Amino acid sequence: MSVSGARVLLHALLLGAAAITLFPLLWMLSVSFMAGGEASAFPPPLLPAHGTLANYRQLFGQQNIGRYLTNSLSLAAMTTLLSLLLNSLAGYAFAKLHFRAREPLLRVLLAALVIPSQVAMLPLFLMMKWLGLVNTYAAVVVPAMAGIFGVFLVRQYALTIPDELLEAARIDGASELRIFTSIVLPALRPILVTLGVFTFLGSWNDFMWPLIVLTDQGLYTLPIALATLSREHVQDNELMMAGAVLTVLPVLALFLSLQRYYIRGILMGSVKG
């Protein structure tokens, strides 16, 4: 095959694949602007006959989706901030500070990566009940405040900080806390952005645990609210699409603006073995 022939074929394949991956998302957007019942027709329409914001108005007006949006945002933000703090402290300690039992601890953590989190879920619920935290945000945030993956991600990156830098600061009499805030944190910035994006997306998209532990409707996150709504409003196709758009859009925007950092996280995560 000639080079130009190959190029045409290649781009045809690429465009076809992109059409398949993007179509559901674009269709979701389009249907969210349709009038109630419009999409349940044959043949299925691709574009709204008369674009309308009625679905969004109903979601914010009657379905209280603003509340869920705020819940999701504050939960994800809180989880991200706290886990960045705890994971960076620990990741740095495991990379650069020598303390007793460091190496065996590291091995235990690494081995524990293979345990699926669902194993812990049932007793975790009983524990939350015992602590009186069921149906509070703390039940969602506290267990997510530190994670093995996060600690390792930071550790890998922190290994690249030159020891001389830290030693020099120690000789100058800086406290360990001071060294951490003024030297280590700035050096870790790129990986913290990566971890932050990961944690935020993970927390935003999380489903099973919040589903179990949050019973009060006022505390629902967007995915839980959407799953609940979609069981009640099976027939309201257009309304559900508007809800899906509101759920997906914030994370998609975050990803698009911080794509570089996110992909670095994937690559670092995949070489951990």
Q: Which 99-128 residues touch other proteins, going by CB under 8 A?
A: 99-100, 102, 105, 109, 112, 114-128
Which of the stretches 3-11, 49-57, 185-193 binds other proteins when contact is defined by CB under 8 A?
Answer: 3-11
**152 part of the interface to other proteins, by CB under 8 A:** no
Q: Tokens 């019942």 identify what position?
A: 37
**70 part of the interface to other proteins, by CB under 8 A:** no
**260 part of the interface to other proteins, by CB under 8 A:** no
Pick one of 141, 153, 188, 195: the residue that binds other proteins (CB under 8 A): 141
Nearer Cβ to other proteins (3/50): 3
**188 part of the interface to other proteins, by CB under 8 A:** no
Q: Nearest distance from residue 111's CB to other proteins, in Å? A: 11
**168 part of the interface to other proteins, by CB under 8 A:** no
DSSP 1: -
- Write b or e for each residue in 79-88: b if 16 or more Cβ atoms lie within 10 A of its Cβ, otherwise e: bbebbbeebb
Number of residues that bind other proteins (CB under 8 A): 121
Residues 93/188, Cβ–Cβ less than 8 Å: no
d(CA 267, CA 182): 28
Which of the stretches 48-56, 185-193, 251-259 binds other proteins when contact is defined by CB under 8 A?
Answer: 251-259
**183 part of the interface to other proteins, by CB under 8 A:** no
Q: Nearest distance from residue 52's CB to other proteins, in Å? A: 18
Residue 252: enclosing H or E segment and its boundaries? helix 237-257
**174 part of the interface to other proteins, by CB under 8 A:** no
Residues 118/130, Cβ–Cβ less than 8 Å: no
d(CA 69, CA 61): 13
Pick one of 58, 66, 146, 191: the residue that binds other proteins (CB under 8 A): 146
Residues 249/273, Cβ–Cβ less than 8 Å: no
Of 213, 69, 88, the closest CA to residue 141 belongs to 213
